[in-house]
C-alpha cells in the first residue's frame, strides 16, 4: 500500500551556498531572480522560436559565469565541433567553455554519459541543448516512450539540484525545450512542475526585435521583456526593457 509522509522544513539541512546567486556582472542578472543572479539548485526551462538565439543567449550567460570563476558545462545534443566553430569565431569567449558533445557517444546510453559527466564535474551551472534531443537519444537505444525518457533526465537534474555529486554542488540547469508550431511550450507537465522558472525567448511580432521574458519564476526576478541584439562581437548586447 502507498504510504505518504509529511515533513517540515525544519528537517532539511540546506547548504548556505544555495542562497548565493551565480552572477555574470551584466544586466541579465536581475532578470533571473530577486537576488540578482541564477540561484543554485534551480532548473530554468527556456523555450522559443527557432533561430531566435536561445543557444547563443545561454552560452553567453555561462561564458560570463566562467569568467567569474564558476564551473560550467554545455551539453550539446544538437551540435558538433564543426558547428561550434562559427559560434566561437563570433564569440571567442565560447572557446573556453567545457562542452559535452553527445554525438561523440552515439552508441552509448545518453543517460549514463550525462550521469558520469555530471557526477564528476560538480558544475555550478549547466546548459542542456536540448532536453528533447537527450530524451530522443535515450528512446532510440532503450525503447519506451518519449515521456519516460524525459522523466529519467529530469530525475537526474533534480538529483544534482540537491547537490548529489562528488563536490556536493547544487547545480543550476538552463534547459532548452521545444515549442509547438503555434509557439506554445511543448512538453509534459512534469517539466513545468520541476522548473523553478519558465523563460521564453521570442521575436517581437511588431518590431522583429528579439527579447526574453519569464512567464513563471519562483525566485522573483524581472517580469518585463528584456530586448537584446546578436549584432555585436563576443557578447550578447542587452539593450532595453519593454
pLDDT attached to residue 237: 97
pLDDT attached to residue 186: 59
The SS3 call for residue 106 is coil
pLDDT attached to residue 239: 95
Q: Which residue has the cell 518519449?
A: 146
Q: How far apart are CA 61 and CA 26, in angstroms?
A: 9
Q: How far apart are CA 72 and CA 94, in angstroms?
A: 11
pLDDT attached to residue 14: 82
Cβ-based burial of 128 (10 A; exposed 0-12, middle 13-18, buried ≥19): buried
Confidence of residue 11 (pLDDT cuts 50, 70, 90): confident
Instruction: Give the single-character DSSP code of 162.
Output: T
pLDDT attached to residue 26: 97
Q: Is the pLDDT of residue 223 over 80?
A: yes
pLDDT in tens, 62-110: 999 999 999 999 999 989 999 999 899 999 999 999 999 999 999 999 9
The mean per-residue pLDDT over the stretch 98-125 comes to 96
Confidence of residue 192 (pLDDT cuts 50, 70, 90): confident
Q: Do you know the residue count of the chain?
A: 242
Q: Is the pLDDT of residue 182 over 60?
A: no
Amino acid at each position: 500500500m502507498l504510504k505518504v509522509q509529511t515533513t517540515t522544513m525544519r528537517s532539511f539541512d540546506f547548504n548556505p551556498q544555495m542562497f548565493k546567486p551565480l552572477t555574470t556582472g551584466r544586466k541579465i542578472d536581475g532578470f533571473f531572480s530577486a537576488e540578482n543572479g541564477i540561484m543554485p539548485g534551480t532548473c530554468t526551462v527556456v523555450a522559443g522560436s527557432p533561430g531566435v538565439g536561445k543557444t547563443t543567449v545561454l552560452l553567453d550567460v555561462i561564458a560570463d559565469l566562467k569568467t567569474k570563476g564558476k564551473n560550467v558545462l554545455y551539453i550539446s545534443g544538437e551540435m558538433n565541433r564543426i558547428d561550434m566553430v562559427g559560434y566561437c569565431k563570433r564569440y571567442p569567449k565560447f572557446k573556453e567553455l567545457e562542452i559535452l558533445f553527445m554525438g561523440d557517444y552515439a552508441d552509448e546510453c545518453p543517460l549514463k554519459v550525462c550521469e558520469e559527466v555530471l557526477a564528476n564535474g560538480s558544475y555550478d551551472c549547466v546548459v542542456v541543448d536540448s532536453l528533447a534531443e537527450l530524451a530522443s537519444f535515450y528512446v532510440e537505444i532503450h525503447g519506451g516512450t518519449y515521456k519516460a525518457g524525459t522523466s529519467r533526465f529530469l530525475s537526474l537534474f533534480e538529483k544534482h539540484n540537491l547537490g548529489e555529486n562528488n563536490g556536493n554542488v547544487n547545480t543550476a540547469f538552463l534547459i532548452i525545450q521545444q515549442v509547438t508550431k503555434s509557439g506554445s511550450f511543448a512538453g509534459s507537465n512534469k517539466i513545468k512542475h520541476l522548473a523553478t522558472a519558465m523563460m521564453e525567448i521570442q521575436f517581437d511580432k511588431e518590431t522583429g526585435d528579439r527579447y526574453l521574458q519569464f512567464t513563471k519564476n519562483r525566485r522573483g526576478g524581472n517580469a518585463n521583456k528584456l530586448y537584446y541584439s546578436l549584432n555585436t562581437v563576443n557578447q550578447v548586447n542587452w539593450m532595453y526593457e519593454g
